[in-house]
Amino acid sequence: MNENTVNTINTEIAVLGAGPAGLAAAMSAKNNGAHVILIERENRLGGILKQCIHDGFGLVRYNEKLTGPEYALRDIKTIKSLNVPAFVNTFVLEVEKKENSFVLYCINEKGAYQIEAQALILATGCRERTDRQIFLHGERPAGIYTAGLAQHFVNIDGYLPGKEIVIIGSGDIGLIMARRLTLEGAHIVGVYEVKPEPSGLQRNIAQCLNDFSIPLHLSCTVKTVHGKNRIEGVTVVNVDESGKEIKGSEKYITCDCLILSVGLIPENEIAQSLNVSIDPDTKGPYVDQNMHTLVDGIFACGNSVHVHDLVDYVSESGTIAGESAVRWIRNKRKRNLIKFSHDNSVLYHIPQFVDFKSNNKIALYFRSKKTYSNTCSVNLIEKNSKTCLKKFKILRPSEMEKIVFDAQLQDNQNLMLQIEENYGNY
Ligand SMILES: Cc1cc2nc3c(=O)[nH]c(=O)nc-3n(C[C@H](O)[C@H](O)[C@H](O)COP(=O)(O)OP(=O)(O)OC[C@H]3O[C@@H](n4cnc5c(N)ncnc54)[C@H](O)[C@@H]3O)c2cc1C
């Protein structure tokens, strides 16, 4: 290949990102008879799973407890056996929408590519929130890392980021890193969570903190970072119910490393450059039940749509996106979209739109806005009727729930999701 020429490739479907979502999307598109290309900016397929060497992956899909790399390897083997071309180390510079296709301008060490596809599947995952987004005061010395970066250091590069470590935020990656760093010989001073409840899964609180006697401090946060070249300590402070600092509760803690586990945000620069509408609640594209965004021909799946707790549901959304993209390029039917909203009892839900002439079996994913511990029902409000989709004994914002239901849809009808507290009538 001449490095000065642009290589033109035509395909039916281009999948952007080769984490579990992109791998599942490419497999299902290929299995449904389409020509597919997979594009990944890193040098290996598998996405974030490559660095998640703990187990707990695949419980729903395989009924097995796999590590991240084991889970990814199953899909990578299938992708190879299906002969799906995978471009790794490939960076997408720009995507242009044409009348009936998309043109991806890409570059890798072999040269420049112009890939034309009839449909695009975005499976670009999410990125971590950093210190800039949490108003952390004080210096910015060495020794402050996001939890995912610390995980990369330990599990891929073989470096220990510190020995006396404070973790800010109780997201799942931080909890998993608290255990991982302890096993590698570091001392975790504590996990400090500003909210009154942990934001990670209950099973991670039990297995990663309680089992290792790592203290979790709720309604408490890191106020200031100290140190010039290397971090030397932090000041932590308690907060009241409204999140305001409680004067006089400040405490200095000596540490050589601060790890941030303060949330993830879907990565959607490419979606936005193509005018894909983004849901302010999820920070990912609005999608219908087929993972089709509001731009015809652009599908999205996995953590680029909303942040998942379980990889199994990430793969499931990729499978739906892959088969839907094939169906769409085969008949290009105009969609009839109905808005599916929620009231303020729900933090967010997917899908936010329903194509009422399409598949009526809807896989609904949602998180509650607050913890409901008195049993509650999740209701679907249509025109004048309310249907209870499912009752729950407990609902927590940290745990994504799934309900599959058959919608009897009519044109011009809006749907709304609502959580109603039943106070014991389970
Ligand atoms: C620390 C941690 C622990 C977890 N633990 C568990 C667990 O125990 N059990 C469980 O079931 N789940 C767990 N999860 C969740 C699960 O791993 C993730 O939800 C899942 O990996 C997300 O898959 P994805 O394909 O959407 O994104 P990712 O895995 O992030 O993949 C996205 C891919 O897209 C690529 N990409 C992004 N932008 C571009 C671009 N412009 N061009 C080309 N490529 C691009 C990225 O390089 C990446 O490879 C964990 C997640 C983390 C981070």
Position in ligand 1 atom list of the atom nearest CA 151: 1
- The model's confidence at residue 385, banded by pLDDT at 50, 70 and 90, is confident
18 Cβ closer than 6 Å to some ligand 1 atom: yes
What is the residue-averaged pLDDT of the chain?
A: 93
CA of 179 to the centre of ligand 1 (A): 20
C-alpha–C-alpha distance, residues 274 and 123, integer Å: 15
143 versus 6: the higher-pLDDT residue is 143
187 — phi, psi (to 5°)?
-110, 125
Q: Is the pLDDT of residue 271 over 80?
A: yes
Per residue in 17-64, pLDDT (tens digit) is 999 999 999 999 999 999 999 999 999 999 999 999 999 999 999 999
Q: Is the pLDDT of residue 318 over 70?
A: yes
Domains located in the chain, CATH noted: 1-127+266-334 (3.50.50.60), 130-262 (3.50.50.60), 336-426 (2.60.40)
CA of 58 to the centre of ligand 1 (A): 14
Pocket test for ligand 1, best of 49, 107, 124 (most atoms within 8 A of CB): 124
C-alpha–C-alpha distance, residues 33 and 36, integer Å: 9
284 Cβ closer than 6 Å to some ligand 1 atom: no
3-state helix, strand, coil in the chain (%, to 5): 25, 35, 40
Pocket test for ligand 1, best of 27, 45, 48, 113 (most atoms within 8 A of CB): 48
| For range 208-217, the mean pLDDT | 97
Position in ligand 1 atom list of the atom nearest CA 304: 26
Q: Is the pLDDT of residue 1 over 60?
A: no
Q: Is the pLDDT of residue 76 over 50?
A: yes
Q: What pLDDT is attached to residue 5?
A: 80
Q: What pLDDT is attached to residue 423?
A: 62
What stretches of 167-291 show up as alpha helix (H) in DSSP? 172-183, 202-204, 269-273
C-alpha–C-alpha distance, residues 106 and 87, integer Å: 10
C-alpha–C-alpha distance, residues 242 and 196, integer Å: 10
Among the listed residues 307, 218, 208, the one whose alpha carbon sits nearest the alpha carbon of residue 263: 307
Q: What pLDDT is attached to residue 3?
A: 52
22 Cβ closer than 6 Å to some ligand 1 atom: yes
CA of 339 to the centre of ligand 1 (A): 28
Per residue in 251-261, pLDDT (tens digit) is 999 999 999 99
| For range 302-331, the mean pLDDT | 96
- The model's confidence at residue 407, banded by pLDDT at 50, 70 and 90, is confident
Q: What pLDDT is attached to residue 309?
A: 87
Per residue in 137-195, pLDDT (tens digit) is 887 899 999 999 999 999 999 999 999 999 999 989 999 999 999 999 999 999 999 99
DSSP 135-166: T-EE---B-EEEHHHHHHIIIII-----SEEE
21 Cβ closer than 6 Å to some ligand 1 atom: yes
381 versus 276: the higher-pLDDT residue is 276
- The model's confidence at residue 133, banded by pLDDT at 50, 70 and 90, is confident
84 token code pair:
């799906």
299 — phi, psi (to 5°)?
-110, 160
CA of 57 to the centre of ligand 1 (A): 12
